[in-house]
Amino acid sequence: MQIRDAWVRFGAVVLACLLPVLAQAGVLQARWEFRLLPGGAQVAVHPEAAGWGAAQVPGSVHTDLLAAGLIGDPYVGAPEAQLQWIGLADWEYRAGFDVDPATLARPHAELVFEGLDTFAEVELNGQPLLRADNAHRTWKARVDGRLQSRGNVLRIVFRSPITRLLPAVQAMPHKIAGNYPSPYGDEPRDAMVGNFVRKPAYHFGWDWGPRYVTAGVWRPVRLETWGAQRVTDLAVRTEALDANLAALTTLVEVEHAGADATLPLRLEVRDPDGKAVVRIVRDVLLKAGTQTLQVPWQIPKPRRWWPAGQGAQDRYSVQVTLGAGEDPALRASRRIGLRSVELRRDKDAQGGQGFAFVINGREVFAKGANVIPFDAFPARVDTARLRTILTAARDANMNMLRNWGGGYYEDEAYFELADELGLMVWQDFMFGGGMQPGFDPAFRQSVVAEARDNVRRLRHHPSIVLWCGNNEEETAWKDWGHGRDLGKADPAFAARVWQGYVDLFGHDLRAVVAEQGLGVPYWSSSPSNDLDDKANDSTRGDKHYWQVWGNPALPVSAYLKETPRFMSEYGLQSWPSQAMVDRFATRAEQRIDSPVIQAHQKFMAGQGNERLLHYIRLGYGEPADFPAFLYLSQVMQAEGIQLAALHHRASRPYTMGSLYWQLNDVWPGASWSGMDHEGNWKGLHFQARRFFADLAVAALRDDGMTRVSLLNDTAQPHSVRWRLRVMDLQGQVLGTQEQAVVLAPGSATEVGRFSDARLLGGADPARTIAVVELLQEQRLLSRQVVGFVEARDQALQPGQLQASLQGEGDALEVVVQARGLVRAAWIDFGANEAVLEDNLLDLLPGERRVLRVRSASDVETLRAALRVQTLGDVLEESR
């Protein structure tokens, strides 16, 4: 009590320093400060952080320390080991604010904390307000009668999740499997706490990102006030939907205080053009407490929301007003898309079971990638970055993103963009791996509250087509030895752990989605068959395939041997561009085995470069130097993922999805991403735009046989021609054939299988290629160049591509001209920011391409920096 009284007295003194900001209903725009909590073990070791410093909310401890100049950039060099003390410390935040008279006069008030990371003790004006223990939840506390017109002080203490949980975890006689043990000594390798705390799992480190166990107010704090009533939620449930009629019900959740009251409720619906199509006014009886009002309505000939490539992304606006509606608390609005969604799981005659997403009655082949967090510190991710990356996904002909379970539930802005762009979202609940303590009732209760918060927050978005319980926990238990090992050590405890898993992911989360998810299907884990028998099965359910890249590191051709019902994870690593590597490592540090480069390669405890070299050597030989290593890593990744994705598409309808790992990066470094941390396209993303095109050719060579399939993902038939030419590396055509065909909607049509002997006819395989093209009238839709030997053995010549920069201002173009065959041409401008419309190009002998360029740099600077790499050039250097 003495400490608390002292704090209240101290608060009156510090308010002058805090410069209080007037608080109204909405985001609390207070002046925030932070420091190490006095008395903690880290205060003596890091006195520089013991004094008050300015804080940013939303934000995190790490970003506040960086802004104050107390730590260096966590992404530059190799600073991780020196920064682990931050995750072991307790931190204190405070804010001062005033409240305007009109807000203070309202009878009801609530502080809403959209994100507290993670163990937080909150006080208002020296009195306890709430205790939080889940970073994924929204925390609310009534503050009726507790606000002052001036001098309010909000104080939050964040406890280290490591020091708080470690004693109990260490005391367990047998541990449940964790994720990635810390290499830095801040947490024992055999007692990981990440599984026991509801915090973004990737903060504890992953095989593509750093270990920064941060804390802070990572999402906004809001002050909400209201009178006798307020609208607390608005949702629209689809009762029936087809091309002729939409039958819907608006669900309006209202909180009412006092005696029964009758008020008018107004509903207005506007179509995608802004025209009012529904207006309903009805009186509703409100009783004390919270109730849900239901208002049915219909729309003839509805304009439905479709995934990208299937139709328009039309959305309607729904607004409800209670009473006179003068108070913002009595109004609510939503933008919704009208669509039906089904996860179709038909059984086949061979005992398998399909896995296909059906939108508005139409099976859609899912094309896309997995999404990881966009930054180690989520508050740094703004809408502009989200738009850049999600627009790039749409531009690469993707129609689905899987939000992986080891991060956090994204902001509204993410899903609003997905709605707008037609990107279906497979949404994991936030469980990334290992095993959860589902046997603990308190843990399960917290997770259910978290799930309810987020399903209700996001359920109006048409882009969300699946809620999935977790990432890889079932397969880890069944296939990786987690269940076996614990069962040997303590059979009774193992049975209890597994039952807790079934209770949480088989029942609890499924029930939340069924009750709150407006008809979106639920899937218990990825990969799985929804808790039925084998967890990672190619014949049923979704599949994670890591025998290529992971152990046993099969060659990329093994992708052609694996035909799943739905491939939800597969991938190959690469490094980002030279310019990006220059941002965190000096040129002297740029060696495959240097400490800084190893620090930014998280796979296999920094030994991932050896795995990367394994794949580069298989296809392309030994890199001559580090820049060649960077380039070849991107070429290998792009060509390998192309092989897998086209195989999946050519296997339609047996296979109905291909989501590679991964779309984006959490920081600059080596990873499986197709775009780097700043949203720049790597070679894979340019290649994805080609291999995910709605109309494409798949020419897949395996065991001396090339199988040619034509792909049509649209809802319309297409009259096309396919052409196959065999030519030498200088362009002499040795043979050709061509055929017209009509491609059925949503189809993969095999048009031929061609042996090497038939195609080559005695020609030198090292000096010969097959070119397979898809054409519509005179327009080239898709092309694949098929080699008969690995690239390292092809007789590719250096100096086969000429490039020049032409134009000025907004009309810049790069013109490239090929003399002989050019493979994997990469064009860049060094450290100058420039965006090309296409890259990582194959060009046939004599072919000319003109590529638009956008850049803020002047033309002479760009011309001097222009550089072109080709496989012929790079392989010649290594010979």
pLDDT, tens only, 810-856: 899 999 999 999 999 999 999 998 999 999 999 999 999 999 999 99
**Residue closest to 508 by CA, chosen among 458, 471, 457, 455:** 455
The half-sphere exposure of 803 on its side-chain side, counting CA atoms within 13 A, is 24
Mean pLDDT of 523-535: 95
Q: How far is CA 39 from CA 42, 120, 607, 815, in A?
A: 8, 17, 40, 65
Per CATH, 695-793 and 801-878 having the same topology is answered yes
The whole-number pLDDT of residue 9 equals 35
**Overall average pLDDT of the 389-401 stretch:** 98
CATH for the stretch 2-222: 2.60.120.260
Q: Residues 38-64: what's their mean pLDDT?
A: 97
In angstroms, rounded to a whole number, what is the distance separating the alpha carbons of residues 868 and 801? Answer: 8
Looking at residue 503, what is its pLDDT?
Answer: 98
pLDDT digits (tens, 9 = 90+) for 552-572: 999 999 999 999 999 999 999
Q: What is the mean pLDDT of residues 646-674?
A: 98
| Phi, psi angle pair for 269, to nearest 5° | -125, 130
Over the stretch 286-312, which tens digit does the pLDDT of each residue have? 999 999 999 999 999 999 999 999 999
Averaged pLDDT score across all residues of the chain: 95
User: Does 4 score more than 80 pLDDT?
Assistant: no
Give the CATH H-level superfamily of domain 228-326.
Immunoglobulins (2.60.40.10)
Q: What is the pLDDT of residue 25?
A: 58
Whole-structure pTM value: 0.96
Instruction: Give the number of other CB atoms < 10 A from CB of residue 112.
Output: 16
The ranges assigned to domains in the chain are 2-222, 228-326, 341-691, 695-793, 801-878
Average of per-residue pLDDT across 89-109 = 96
- Name the β-bridge partners of 158: 91, 120
Topology of domain 341-691, per CATH? TIM Barrel (3.20.20)
Under 8 Å between Cβ of 807 and 859: yes
**Residues above pLDDT 90, as percent of the chain:** 94
Q: What is the largest CA-CA distance in the chain?
A: 93
pLDDT tens-place string over residues 239-294: 999 999 999 999 999 999 999 999 999 999 999 999 999 999 999 999 999 999 99
- Architecture of the domain delimited by 801-878: Sandwich (2.60)
Alpha-helical (H) ranges within 738-802 are 756-760
Task: Give me the DSSP letters along 344-409.
Answer: E--B-TTS-B--EEEETTEEE-EEEEEE--SSSSGGG--HHHHHHHHHHHHHTT--EEEE-TTS-P
pLDDT digits 0-9 by tens, 10-41 = 333 333 333 344 444 589 989 999 999 999 99
Annotation: CATH topology of 695-793: Immunoglobulin-like (2.60.40)
The per-residue pLDDT for range 466-511, each reduced to its tens digit, is 999 999 999 999 999 999 999 999 999 999 999 999 999 999 999 9
In the chain, the percentage of residues whose pLDDT exceeds 70 is 97
Asked if residue 352 has pLDDT above 80, the reply is: yes
Assigned token pair, 293: 């009002």
**Residue (of 408, 417, 429, 407) closest to 385 by Cα position:** 417
Look at residues 182, 878, 183 and name the one whose alpha carbon lies nearest to residue 595: 183
What mean pLDDT do residues 641-648 have?
Answer: 98
